[in-house]
Amino acid sequence: MNWVRIDNRLVHGQVIEAWMPYLGARNILVVNDELADDDMRQEIIRLAVPSGVELSFVGVDRISTHLDEHGRIIHPRDYTLLLFATCGDVQRAVQAGFALTTVNIGNLHYSPGKQQLCPHVALSNEDIGCLKAFAKRGIHLDFRCVPNDSTQVKTSWWG
C-alpha cells in the first residue's frame, strides 16, 4: 500500500512525526527531479529520517522503475509514503503509469497569483487544472496538513 502526499517541503517534521506513525510507513520515496540528482541534498535529508525508515529518491520520469504491472509501488515493506513537491509532478507520474486512488494535498505555499484555498494550500491555475483532472479520474483529494486535521475543503468552487 502507499500514500501519496503533495508537499513542497518534501521530508520534514510533520512527515516524520505525524504521517509516518499514522500510516505505519517504514519507507519514504521522494519523487523529485532536483533531489534525484543531488547526492549532497539527499545526505542532508537523510539526517532527518530516523533509523529503520528506508528513504529513496527517484526522478518523476523514472517512477516507472518502481512500479508493478498494475502501476503500484513495488517495495518489500507494507506501506510507502510517496512525497511529491507539486501537483504537476503527480500528474506526470500518473501519465507514466503510476496508479493512485487518493492524493493528500498537504502543503503548497502561497505566492503571487495563487488562490489561498485553506491555511496550508494555495493553488495556481495550473494546480487547479491538475486537481480537476485527478477528480475527473476518480482520484480522491485529501486536503490535510496532518492526519488529525479536520479541515474540510469544499471543492465545488472549481466546477
Cα dihedral 34, 40, 41, 43 sign: positive
Instruction: Spell out the domain ranges in the chain.
Output: 2-145
Q: Cα separations (Å) of 21 from 46, 52, 79, 105? A: 18, 12, 11, 18
Where is mean pLDDT largest: 95-99, 122-126, 151-155?
A: 122-126
pTM of the shown model? 0.90
Give the model confidence (pLDDT) of 68-111 as tens digits: 665 566 665 568 899 999 999 999 999 988 888 999 999 999 99
Side-by-side strand order, sheet with 27-31 = 54-58, 27-31, 80-84, 2-7, 102-107, 140-142
Residue type, 28: I
Yes or no: domain 2-145 corresponds to CATH 3.40.35.10: yes
Q: Is-contact 103 6, C-beta < 8 A?
A: yes
Query: How many C-alpha atoms does 100 have within 13 Å on its Cβ side?
Result: 27
C-alpha span between 116 and 93 (Å, rounded): 25
User: Is the pLDDT at 125 greater than 90, yes or no?
Assistant: yes
pLDDT at 132 exceeding the cut of 90: yes
pLDDT at position 113 is 93
Q: What does the pLDDT look like over 25-78, one tens digit per residue?
A: 989 999 999 999 999 999 999 999 999 898 999 999 888 777 666 556 666 556
Q: For residue 20, what are the CA distances in angstroms to 2, 81, 138?
A: 11, 8, 25
